[in-house]
Structure 1
Amino acid sequence: MLNYYIFSILFKVIEVYMMLLGVYVLLSWFPGAYQTRLGYWVAYFVEPLLKPFRKLKLHFGIFDVTVLVAFVALQFLRYLLMQLYIMVFTLW
């Protein structure tokens, strides 16, 4: 039963992080949005995740796909977590 709660919490954390990435992208459309209180807190939580991906130089002209790659990485992490969840609960 405890395993279920651990996996549930991890799924929710990944889901919230993906939503924060979406808000981060939406804030980039508005000038000065990162200087607001909401923009500060979203950037505070999202920038540590984006930092390793920024080292990959994912700029193509004026487009920066760093957030998209981070989103795909979170999706892949969620997939791996789901596979682990299935393995754990089918063996019990």
Structure 2
Amino acid sequence: MGAIEGIIIQLLRLYSWVVIAYILMSWFPNARESSIGQFIGSIVEPYLAPFRKIIPPLGMIDISPIVAIVALNFATYGVHALFSIF
């Protein structure tokens, strides 16, 4: 079970880095319109959409990605706790 746990945790961490890359792309003009930006957006936007419904933007600042990353970290801890039971 350790290998499965490791794979799942690494995938969750990788997805966290993809979310961070998507956030950083908003700092550069037209980065999200590039082919890589559109690909990352198609992966990240479905995950961020529920958080954006719950947490509206505060002026020009959108804190929903931060909450989404925290949720991914909690999911990582949950996977570790779930596999430590077995």
What is the TM-score of this pair, normalised by structure 1?
0.86
Identity of aligned residues (%): 34
Aligned structure 1 segments of 4 or more residues deviating by more than 2 angstroms: none
Secondary structure of the residue aligned to 1:53 is: helix
1:59 pairs, out of 48, 51, 57, with: 57
Question: Is 2:38 the partner of 1:45?
Answer: no
Q: How many residues align?
A: 86
Which sections of structure 1, spanning at least 5 residues, go unmatched? none
More strand by share: 1
Residues 8-87 of structure 1 aligned to structure 2 (within 5 Å): 8-87=6-85
| CA distance, structure 1, for counterparts of residue 38 and residue 18 of structure 2 | 12
Which of the pair has more CA radius of gyration?
1
| CA distance, structure 1, for counterparts of residue 56 and residue 15 of structure 2 | 20
Q: Which has the higher contact order (CA 8 A, sep 6+)?
A: 2
Contact 2:16 2:69 in 1 (8 A): yes
| CA distance, structure 2, for counterparts of residue 48 and residue 10 of structure 1 | 19
Aligned-partner residue type, residue 34 of structure 1: R
Secondary structure of the residue aligned to 1:60 is: coil
User: What root-mean-square deviation, in Å, do the aligned CA atoms of Structure 1 and Structure 2 show?
Assistant: 1.1
What is the TM-score of this pair, normalised by structure 2?
0.92
| CA distance, structure 2, for counterparts of residue 63 and residue 34 of structure 1 | 17
Which sections of structure 2, spanning at least 5 residues, go unmatched? none
Contact 2:55 2:63 in 1 (8 A): no
Deviations 1:23-73 (A, max 9, x none): 001100011111111101111111111011111133112210010010000
